[in-house]
């Protein structure tokens, strides 16, 4: 099982944006040290909890501070960008850092409606945008519009999704598929099955490839893991309540406004490995039995203490390595 990581560049209460970006760089270097396949940045706008609005600049900075790990935008929210500009920007990155870059493509805006209007791009057809982007990375068009640099780059593209609709689309396009189980896990099994059953090989991707993005909160004890994860729960609660503030420190008890709010958070956080190493190892073993169609786990999480966040990733990497080694021996 391959591992990778996703960051929204969380801004903790009291942190500056520069401090948040420095934290991101240290995490990216950790991911490379742990042998992760890739490290992605997700585009969001006008959200005080994240500093990931200019993904292409952050990706460039990470590539400058790492050596081997693939780095990408996970994703580029195409409704916010002209495909030509995306191809030029990321074609430039691919020129500077060959074979170390890939792009996840999203159809959401990653912003509230008012911010979306401020981005000044009218409603577009997502499928056409993807086709246009692929063409700009393809062969040069004599006398036509070309992305320079970008032409002939064949930058790997991934379809991002959180529903079965995206699974059908990724399969029809013959592209790799990334499912957002870290905030929308309910349809993950169905989406993976749909994608694999309907996949059509393409020049870009000959066989189906599934990445499942999951929250990771592993600690020395179950109690500590759940305490650390209260930062994530507060983040989701604030988003549901329309409260735009930075990431908050952990708390012993979460106060819900209603039983329905508690159920909503429970469903939203179902896609998680949480607990001590022993507990999370049992969860992973069960996961591997249930999700046979997953090729890669993209780890993410919101733990207030940076050292504990790193410790969580280290413990989960050990869990995966030990399980997979045991399977090979058997």
Strands 2-7 and 296-300 turn out to be parallel
Strands 210-219 and 101-106 turn out to be unpaired
Q: What is the CA radius of gyration of the chain?
A: 19
Rounded distance, CA 165 to CA 168, Å? Answer: 5
pLDDT at 188: 94
pLDDT at 123: 67
The residues that bridge with 159 in the sheet, in sequence order, are: 105, 177
Residue 285: Cβ within 10 Å count: 14
Answer for the pair 295, 256: CB distance below 8 angstroms, yes or no: no
Please tell me whether residue 275 adopts helix, strand or coil conformation.
strand
Q: What are phi and psi of 73, to 5 degrees?
A: -95, 120
Upstream peptide bond of 203 is cis (omega within 30 degrees of 0): no
Q: Is 14 exposed, middle or buried (0-12, 13-18, 19+ CB in 10 A)?
A: exposed
How far is Cα of residue 270 from the mean position of the Cα atoms in its chain? 16
The residues that bridge with 274 in the sheet, in sequence order, are: 217
The candidate with the shortest Cα–Cα distance to 110, out of 64, 47, 58, is 47
What are the boundaries of each domain within the chain?
A: 1-155, 217-330
Dihedral over Cα of 218, 219, 221, 225: its sign? negative
Rounded distance, CA 2 to CA 100, Å? Answer: 16
What is the DSSP code string of 235-263? HHHHHHHT----B----S----SSHHHHH
- Its pTM stands at 0.95
CATH topology for 1-155?
Answer: TIM Barrel (3.20.20)
pLDDT at 227: 98
Cβ partners under 8 Å of residue 18, min gap 6: none
41-66 burial string, b = 16+ CB within 10 Å, else e?
Answer: bbbbbebebbbbbebbebbbbbbeeb
How far separated are the first and last CA of the chain, in Å rounded?
16
Q: Which two tokens stand for residue 258?
A: 């209603």
pLDDT at 171: 98
Please tell me whether residue 99 adopts helix, strand or coil conformation.
coil
Residues in the chain with pLDDT < 50? none
């Amino acid at each position: 099982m391959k591992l990778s990581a996703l960051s929204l560049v969380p801004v903790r209460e009291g942190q500056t944006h520069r401090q948040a970006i420095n934290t991101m760089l240290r995490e990216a270097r950790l991911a490379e040290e742990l042998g992760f396949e890739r490290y992605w940045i997700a585009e969001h706008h006008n959200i005080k909890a994240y500093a990931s609005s200019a993904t292409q600049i952050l990706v460039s900075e990470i590539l400058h501070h790492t050596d081997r790990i693939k780095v990408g935008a996970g994703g580029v929210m195409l409704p916010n960008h002209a495909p030509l500009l995306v191809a030029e920007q990321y074609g430039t990155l691919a020129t500077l850092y060959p074979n170390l870059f890939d792009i996840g493509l999203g159809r959401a805006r990653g912003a509230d409606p008012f911010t979306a209007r401020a981005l000044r791009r009218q409603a577009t057809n997502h499928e056409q945008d993807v086709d246009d982007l692929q063409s700009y990375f393809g062969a040069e068009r004599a006398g036509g519009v070309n992305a320079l640099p970008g032409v002939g780059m064949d930058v790997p593209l991934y379809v991002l999704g959180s529903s079965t609709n995206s699974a059908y689309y990724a399969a029809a396009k013959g592209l790799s598929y990334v499912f957002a189980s870290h905030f929308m896990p309910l349809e993950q099994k169905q989406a993976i099955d749909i994608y694999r059953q309907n996949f059509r090989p393409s020049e870009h991707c000959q066989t189906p490839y599934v990445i499942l993005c999951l929250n990771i909160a592993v600690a020395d004890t179950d109690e500590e893991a759940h305490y650390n994860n209260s930062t994530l729960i507060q983040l989701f609660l604030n988003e549901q309540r329309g409260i735009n503030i930075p990431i908050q420190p952990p708390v012993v008890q979460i106060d819900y406004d209603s039983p329905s709010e508690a159920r909503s958070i429970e469903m939203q956080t179902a896609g998680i490995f949480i607990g001590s190493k022993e507990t999370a190892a049992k969860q992973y073993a069960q996961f591997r039995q249930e999700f046979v169609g997953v090729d890669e786990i993209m780890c993410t999480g919101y733990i207030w203490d940076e050292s504990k966040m790193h410790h969580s990733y280290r413990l989960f990497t050990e869990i995966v390595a030990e399980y997979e080694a045991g399977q090979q021996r058997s």
